[in-house]
Chain A
Amino acid sequence: MLTLAWTFLKIGLLFFGGGYVLIPLLQHLLVEQYQWLSLREFLDGVAISQLTPGPLAILATFTGVRVGGFGGGLVATICIFAPCVVLMLLVGRYYTRLKEIDLIRITLDGVLPAVVGLVASAAWSLGATLGNLRQWLVLVAAFCLFRFTKVSPMLMILGAGLLGMLLP
């Protein structure tokens, strides 16, 4: 349980530049390093966390429940969100006087291309879970829908789940 808390606290400190940096980070830590989840479970967890209004980091709850039941979920959730809540409270206090902010902003903007590369690498390893041609076709179709329409991820995931149940 302590490892769980510490791990999610570390992750909470690391995520900036949008929630999606979490996908490669979590995939590496949870699947490869600690082996708390299999690749399949990781993907299922992402699907489940996309069904809620919360940020992607709510995936921590899923992992916590998997590792340590309801208590584990609570610990993981608190730990992953604590750093950014605390930072945001500090910002609320001092934001009129943060002068070095442009340097921080330029640095964080500068690292974003690396984030893009890392997120792509997560998609690369997750692609290993796809077995048959039909899944690849669904992937291409879903990609086009995300690109060219404004369908929400939640609806897409629910729809894909239903289709998966109904099709032989």
Chain B
Amino acid sequence: MIDPKPDIIAPVRVSLWEIFTLFLKVGLTGFGGGMAIVALTERMVVKEKQWVTPEEFLHGLAFGQILGPFSLNSCTFVGYRLRGVPGGLLAAVGFLLPSFLIVSLLAWLYLRFQHLALLQKALAGTNPVVIALILAVVLDMGKKQIKGRNDWILALAAFAAAALFKLNVALVLAAGLVWAFGTAVYRRRLV
């Protein structure tokens, strides 16, 4: 196998333990979610440790954004570039472990004390905030992603299908994907 661009090899061979503990630290301190975590990871692995180059990190991020949770994906990517599959797996596990333990503990406490009046009140207080957060995301994404009439039709159709006609969300999403793929192929032919 000949790569057009040879892999950039880290100046020092990074141990698996080092990878695991670094991403454990990211997973423990990276409050703020999403891009805040990516920024923290970048500062640690590109600027401080110089494990990967800035370009490489950006490539990983670009793919990570396509494939779902990009905070997790960029960790996996960096781990993989350093030490192959074990490195990638350890980076992912290290990053997720603190959140997994926190949520498990909180979920257990929640289920145990769900019926306490005080907790009920606290959680009732958070419900509108969570909905507001979702609405803020809708507005933010909408501003960035909805351009022109076709996008509006697609967005409104998806909303109507899920909210008013109660269609299966996964099906709506699949239909949207087929539609988007068709348009992408069609546009490419025109160019």
Contact = CB atoms under 8 A, between A and B. Distances in A.
A53 B29 CA distance: 7
Given A19-B68, A87-B67, A103 B185 contact: yes
B103 A61 contact: yes
Contacts of A16: 66-68
A58 to B, nearest CB: 5
Given A70-B104, A85-B88, A116-B155, A57 B69 contact: yes
A53 B146 contact: no
The size class of the interface chain B forms with chain A is 35 or more
Contacts of B71: 53-55
A28 B172 CA distance: 12
Contacts, number: 344
Given A15-B69, A114-B172, A117-B156, A66 B129 contact: no
Main secondary structure of the interface of A (DSSP, over half): helix
B16 to A, nearest CB: 15
B69 A53 contact: no
Interface in A44-76: 44-58, 61-62, 65-66, 70, 73-74
A119 B69 contact: no
B37 A88 contact: no
B5 A96 contact: yes
A138 B122 CA distance: 13
A84 B96 CA distance: 13
Given A116-B138, A117-B157, A139-B128, A77 B100 contact: yes
A21 to B, nearest CB: 7
B135 A53 contact: no
A95 B26 CA distance: 24
Nearest to A136: B128
Nearest to B175: A114
B10 interface: no
A1 interface: no
Given A81-B92, A84-B69, A89-B76, A165 B102 contact: no
Interface in B163-191: 163, 166, 168-170, 172-173, 176-177, 179-181, 183-185, 187-188
Interface in A88-139: 88-89, 91-93, 95-97, 103-127, 129-130, 135-136, 138-139
Interface of A: 10, 12, 14-16, 18-21, 23-25, 27-29, 32, 40, 43-58, 61-62, 65-66, 70, 73-74, 77, 81, 84-85, 87-89, 91-93, 95-97, 103-127, 129-130, 135-136, 138-143, 145-147, 152-154, 156-157, 160-165, 167
Given A54-B103, A84-B69, A154-B32, 4 more contacts: A53-B32, A92-B60, A117-B158, A164-B122
Interface of B: 3-5, 26-34, 36-37, 59-60, 63-73, 76-77, 80-81, 85, 88-89, 92, 95-96, 98-100, 102-104, 106-108, 110-111, 118, 121-139, 141-142, 145-146, 151-152, 154-160, 162-163, 166, 168-170, 172-173, 176-177, 179-181, 183-185, 187-188
